Amino acid sequence: MRTQILLSLLIPFAVGITAAHAATIGPRPFFLVDQMQQGPLKEQLSACAADFLAGKKLETTLFSIGHRGAPLQFPEHTAQSYKAAAQMGAGIVECDVTFTKDKQLVCRHSQADLHTTTNILTTDLAAKCTTPFEPATKHSKANAKCLTSDITLAEFQSLKGKMDAADKTATTPKEYIKGTAGWRTDLYAATSGTLMTHKDSITLLKQLGVKFTPELKSPSVTMPYDGMSQENYAQMLIDDYKTAGVPASDVWVQSFNLDDILYWIKHEPAFGKQAVYLDGRNSKQIDIMDANSFKPSMQALKDMGVNYIAPPLWMLVTAQDGKIVPSIYATQAKAAGLNIIAWSLERSGPLTTGGGWYYQSINNIVDNDGAVYELLDVLANRIGVSNVFSDWPATTTFFANCMGLK
């Protein structure tokens, strides 16, 4: 029996998995339930946990989106991270899309993050970085800046992925690329993650049986870039799915740039129908409890043809009488008929001290890791979000299965 269990965990990473397989979520969801405060929600999730521990099958769910894969423990945007997300039941997995010097699309969270997410500083390619490594001194922190547009696709593919981190006190590149947060780990694929081109990600995710949510990242270089306009860039992303024969209904293209969304709505309406406007307006630009501060308004966005809006977690909720409740932002978005996707669960680390930036509207009432399920309950059952990004999709997969969410 022990051998069979071990094989069931190892085979997916060896030969790939499909959505037809049951999800494998590990102990974390159950740990989080144990941390919850006593109440009806904990009782419901505890009973559900008992059913799954007794052998009930966990299903892959579109509610659960792998944010950059599963970067709580696997280097983001690597084959290992994508496979882990799919194994944990994420029905949709994200590739953030940027481009190389020779204008090839690759999966990176930022065009300017190679120095923190890969081993580039310890390779010969370090000399090509926009800002080569600068050691820390008594008066300054260590620094570096390496763009995907600093190198060609072939050079990009020679690199290895690592956990997103940097040691600002470092005096050598080898020291600098360390610094992984204590609540993450270098146990899996440390400095050896397999980087992905956008086309590679499509091939892999098709094999894994999951759907796609690519984000067109804002360039760190001036556009047009070597003759490539922003519109060309947006079209290239869509063309990769069309060439691969992926139906538009399986793709949720994303951008923080509303003009990108409107471009897709106009020029690629099948993909534009599910285009996701990432709302990056911060608290200085928008008051989540004042509908008059939403510019453009939710209804205006809907009238433009936008069907999906995706704000950070904190914009959707507020605290009231010690409880997490929907914000005006959330109720206005739903009233306008917008589908809501929330980002990103389990990005902030432990919640014992308020949860950090992603929980800023409810920091004063968040004091334990189990609060993640209180938040999910409000998002799913009171607001009605369609999907939730997570750095550890097992958490959202478990919740969706318990609540009957698809």
Q: Looking at the structure, do residues 74 and 159 belong to the same domain, yes or no?
A: no
In-domain check, residue 341:
yes
The total of structural domains in the chain comes to 2
Q: Looking at the structure, do residues 273 and 336 belong to the same domain, yes or no?
A: yes
Q: Looking at the structure, do residues 244 and 202 belong to the same domain, yes or no?
A: yes
DSSP state of 219: P
Whether the CB-CB separation of 28 and 19 falls below 8 Å is answered with no
Q: Looking at the structure, do residues 205 and 129 belong to the same domain, yes or no?
A: no
**Dist. CA 221–CA 349, nearest whole Å:** 31
Tell me the one-letter amino acid at 299: Q
**pLDDT at 4 (0 to 100):** 31
**pLDDT at 95 (0 to 100):** 98
Angle between helices 198-208 and 79-87 (to 10 degrees): 30
This prediction has a pTM of 0.95
**pLDDT at 228 (0 to 100):** 98
Q: Looking at the structure, do residues 84 and 113 belong to the same domain, yes or no?
A: no
**CATH code, 205:** 3.20.20.190
Q: Looking at the structure, do residues 87 and 116 belong to the same domain, yes or no?
A: no
Q: Looking at the structure, do residues 243 and 302 belong to the same domain, yes or no?
A: yes
In-domain check, residue 184:
no
Q: Looking at the structure, do residues 133 and 274 belong to the same domain, yes or no?
A: no
In-domain check, residue 187:
no
Whether the CB-CB separation of 269 and 301 falls below 8 Å is answered with no
Q: Looking at the structure, do residues 87 and 112 belong to the same domain, yes or no?
A: no
In-domain check, residue 8:
no
Q: Looking at the structure, do residues 87 and 119 belong to the same domain, yes or no?
A: no
Q: What are phi and psi of 324, to 5 degrees?
A: -85, 125
- DSSP codes joined into one string, 281-320: --TTT--TT-GGG-SS-HHHHHHTT--EEE-BHHHHEEEE
Q: Looking at the structure, do residues 201 and 346 belong to the same domain, yes or no?
A: yes
**Dist. CA 212–CA 231, nearest whole Å:** 21
Q: Looking at the structure, do residues 121 and 210 belong to the same domain, yes or no?
A: no
**pLDDT at 15 (0 to 100):** 39
Q: Which structural domain, as residue segments, surrounds residue 228?
A: 35-95+196-403
In-domain check, residue 27:
no
Q: Which residues of the chain have pLDDT under 50?
A: 1-20
In-domain check, residue 189:
no
In-domain check, residue 186:
no
In-domain check, residue 257:
yes
Which of the listed residues 148, 176, 204 is the one where a domain comes to its end?
Answer: 176
**pLDDT at 21 (0 to 100):** 58
Which of the listed residues 176, 206, 237 is the one where a domain comes to its end?
Answer: 176
Please report which residue ranges of 40-197 form alpha helices under DSSP H: 40-53, 79-87, 114-117, 153-157, 173-176
